[in-house]
Amino acid sequence: MIIPARSASLALLLLPFAKAIWPFQQKRFSAEALIDAGQLGFEGVDGRVVAVGDWNGDKNADLFVISSDSKVLQIYLWNRDLFRYSPSHNYTASSPIVNVLPADFNQDGRLDVLLMFGGEKNGWWGGASDTLGMDVILGAEGGTFGEKWTVPASTAQQPLVFDANGSLRPSLLGFTHADASAAAKLVSWQNDGTGLKMSTAPLDRPEQACVLANPHSSAFIDLDGDCLPDLVLHCSKSKSAGQSIQIWINKGDKGYQLAQTYDLPKGAGPLTFADMNRDGTIDIIFPTCSKVSSSTGQGTDCSINIAYNRQIPVCSSETSSRGSDGSLKCRGWGALCTADPKFTFTLDATSVFQLTLKTSYTATLSSIFGRDVFLLLHPPSQPHLTLPLRPGDYNVDGYPDLIFTVVDSKPKTSSGILGLKEGSQARILRNVPCGRRLAGCDAGGQERTFALGQGKGWEAMEEIWDVTGASWIDIDDDGSLDILLQRSGAQGAGKVSFVQNNFYHDAFFLKGQVLNGACDGDCIPSSGGSKYSPSGASYAGATYKFTVLDTLGRRQAQTVGQLPQSTYQALDLPYSYIGLGRTNNYIERLSVGVSLNTGNTTDLEAIIPNSQLIITPPYPASGIAATDKDPQNRPEEWRTELYLQPGDWVPYVAAAVLGTVIILAGIVLGLNEQEKKEDEKERRRALHAINFQAL
């Protein structure tokens, strides 16, 4: 009895070690559903998440929060060991903060923040005379705040981040308060590495630029297909005339040229951009509502609209095909970054509601939900803050879905019975193929539409009814798009909470992040100090374009932009999350583009799915002023790092491979031993034969 007791004691001592190395660990979330993950470190926080960025360069997305009085910026860092966010450094401002924009402004590889002050009283049609103050707070060693750049004030229309001169440094585009007038022209706050200096906007004819709406949904994203980010300006004409958009094409060192102008339908809301039909082009998504309440933010009689980007299609071959007249008929999948100067949108004041075959899409929310609901376009009593339809591929099928907030007079309670209290809920519309009795397909010719995500596994979303905003976030960077909910606190569950997406483990994804060329590998400060990672210094406007084969062997093109929008608390992730669907192949060729004057694209081959790709473009060698604080090691050419994301199936594959190897090794050893015995028998027979003959 003594020996078994000692063995049991030894087993108990070794149990923690065995549990640590055992590959089949118990999952934190096991149910195939959307799971309420709680507040994850935001218990007692009375503020609002305004931006996402990797503040400490650890390849995890951190959150930037402003307090309820809008005076304090608090950074919450993701702690992987604790599986929660932990408060880090904070910054106290003297004026109310209305927007926070994380970016590497001095191009030293550390993330900085641009703070925008004031301008919150303007509403949807703010006056040009209202002032928007701006400061850049530079990031310093140890994740602290360092020097401050004072930036010339803007009008109420928040300036857009873009690359003004091919320097990979974030500049701003907007109106200065000093020149505020009805005839004001767009100007640029150009970034020379030491500050944001006023300059003429890099437009070939600045007088053609429109007056930005307030709030506006302007973007820095590729629309003509050449992988270079273009300028999309969301314009205001007048209350009666409505709004429009201008598309300015990126011509490299020649600046931006006005290519197309479109009127938006009456009642159009904020714009967002994504490749909704997986054809390799960026489309425009926006809601339309007949009326919006400025106090509650609720829109009535709302519809979901998509203006499809029509370009030269992608060939089934690697090389492009041209007609007899030399015109391009289709892009080869090896030459995806070929501009189509004749790209078009079917988008004007009437076409969204009078559909042209396969060119645009619209569906009313009432037809999708099966009852009347109100779309929340801005939080109550905060008309300066927009709540757009946010695209994100939560089910990893390659087609972006939409998340937004609705106000429902008949929300479901936890018991499934229709409640009597009105509530606002975050809802997801799934991007699905058109079929019978699906909203938006009745006009004919539509390939895809939206279906409401509901039923088994969706209870966590349906039971939360105090939502004031919803966006995508990848909790723990595990390769699934989860949900960040901003809440009023009426349910007593705090102002910020999270929903874990535990669906769809059998599809593949790719996470891409283009940096700003600050450092080749780790940054080494010229002025001394320890080296650090530049992983937080994402480049706004980068483009990913590729084709992928599905399980049926069909080649499908995809385009994804990185950080295309920066105004009005856009909450874009610092990387691009790309759903690949169920594929059994590598990504044969991935094209990546940035706004460099030379060598602005690169092609990568044989990219492994379920991986994180970090791409560093070459540092511009000429025309960019250097500072004494710039890192010493600048990249001279494109640099790529690939990090594999282990899936749940990896331990099982490893066990299967190990088992197969053991079985094969046993067979080989067994056959080898049998062969030895046969050889010994043969040797003995031969020995006996020799002795017999000798006699």
DSSP annotation string for 66-85: EETTS-EEEEEEEETTTTEE
Give the separation between CA 560 and CA 398, rounded to whole angstroms. Answer: 11
Q: What pLDDT digit, counting tens, does each position of 577-627 carry?
A: 999 888 778 888 899 999 987 778 999 988 988 889 999 999 886 556 566
Q: Phi/psi at 682 (nearest 5 deg)?
A: -60, -40
Pairing status of strand 508-514 against strand 611-616: parallel
- pLDDT band at 370, cuts 50/70/90? confident
Q: Which of 640, 617, 627 is nearest to 518 (CA)?
A: 617
Q: Model confidence over 44-94: pLDDT tens digits?
A: 999 999 999 999 999 999 999 999 999 999 999 999 999 999 999 999 998
**Between 658 and 318, whose confidence is greater?**
658
DSSP line for 15-38: HHHHHHH-SSPPPS--SSSEEEEE
pLDDT at 377 over 60: yes
- Answer yes or no: is pLDDT of 42 > 50: yes
Contacts of 78 (CB under 8 A, 6+ apart): 58, 60, 61, 62, 85, 86, 476, 477
pLDDT at 96: 92
664 backbone dihedrals φ, ψ, rounded to 5°: -65, -40
Kindly report which listed range (314-328, 330-344, 458-472) carries the lowest average pLDDT score.
314-328
DSSP code at position 141: G
Section 471-494 average pLDDT: 91
- Give residue 126's pLDDT band: very low, low, confident or very high (50, 70, 90): very low
The answer to whether the beta carbons of residues 642 and 608 sit under 8 Å apart is yes
Average pLDDT over residues 157-176: 93
Q: Mean pLDDT across the stretch 214-222?
A: 94
Contact residues for 599 (Cβ-Cβ < 8 A; gap 6+): 618, 638
In the predicted structure, residue 125 carries a pLDDT above the cut 50: no
Taking the C-alpha atoms of residue 539 and residue 619, their distance in angstroms, rounded to an integer, is 12
Contacting residues for 21 by C-beta, under 8 A, at least 6 apart: none
279 CB-near residues (< 8 Å, 6+ apart): 313, 314, 556, 557
Provide φ and ψ at 248, rounded to 5°.
-110, 120
* Tokens found for residue 121: 């009283």
Give the separation between CA 347 and CA 30, rounded to whole angstroms: 45
Ramachandran area for residue 569 (φ above 0: left; ψ -120 to 50: alpha; else beta): left
Question: What is residue 678's DSSP assignment?
Answer: H
How would you class 241 by CB atoms within 10 Å of its CB: exposed for 0-12, middle for 13-18, buried for 19 or more?
exposed
Structure tokens at 389: 């339809």
Give the lowest-confidence range in 295-299, 318-322, 440-444, 554-558: 440-444
Tokens at residue 595, please?
A: 């706004």
Distances (CA, A) of 52 to 144, 217, 522: 17, 18, 22
What pairs with residue 428 in β-bridges?
403
- Mean pLDDT over 383-395 rounds to 92
Enumerate the H helices of 339-468 as residue ranges: 365-369, 459-462
Gap between the Cα atoms of 270 and 188, Å rounded:
23
Instruction: Pinpoint the alpha helices (H) of 268-311.
Output: none
For the segment 644-656, the average pLDDT, to the nearest whole number, is 71
Q: Which residues contact 189 (CB under 8 A, 6 or more apart)?
A: 151, 152, 159, 171, 172, 173, 174, 196, 197, 198, 199
Phi and psi at residue 171, to the nearest 5°: -110, 175
Using DSSP's 3-state secondary structure scheme, residue 383 falls into: coil
Residue tagged 């769809």 (tokens): 504
pLDDT of residue 483: 95
pLDDT attached to residue 445: 65
Check: CB of residue 589 under 8 Å from CB of residue 605.
yes
Whose CA is closest to 91, among 144, 134, 38, 55?
144
d(C-alpha 99, C-alpha 639), whole Å: 32
Looking at the DSSP bridge assignments, the partners of residue 306 are 285, 361
**pTM, rounded to two decimals:** 0.86
Q: Which residue would you say has higher pLDDT here, 26 or 518?
A: 518
The H or E element spanning position 232 is strand 230-238
Give the C-alpha separation, 534 to 429, whole Å.
36
Structure tokens, 465: 């009814």
Confidence category of residue 27, pLDDT binned at 50, 70, 90? low
Mean pLDDT of the chain: 84
**Stretch 236-256: mean pLDDT, rounded?**
84
366 and 372 Cβ atoms separated by less than 8 Å: yes
Half-sphere exposure of 408 (CA within 13 A, CB side): 24
Give, as one character, the DSSP assignment of residue 176.
B
Instruction: Examine residue 313 and say whether the peptide bond preceding it is cis (omega within 30 degrees of 0).
Output: no
The yes-or-no verdict on residue 350 having pLDDT over 60 is no
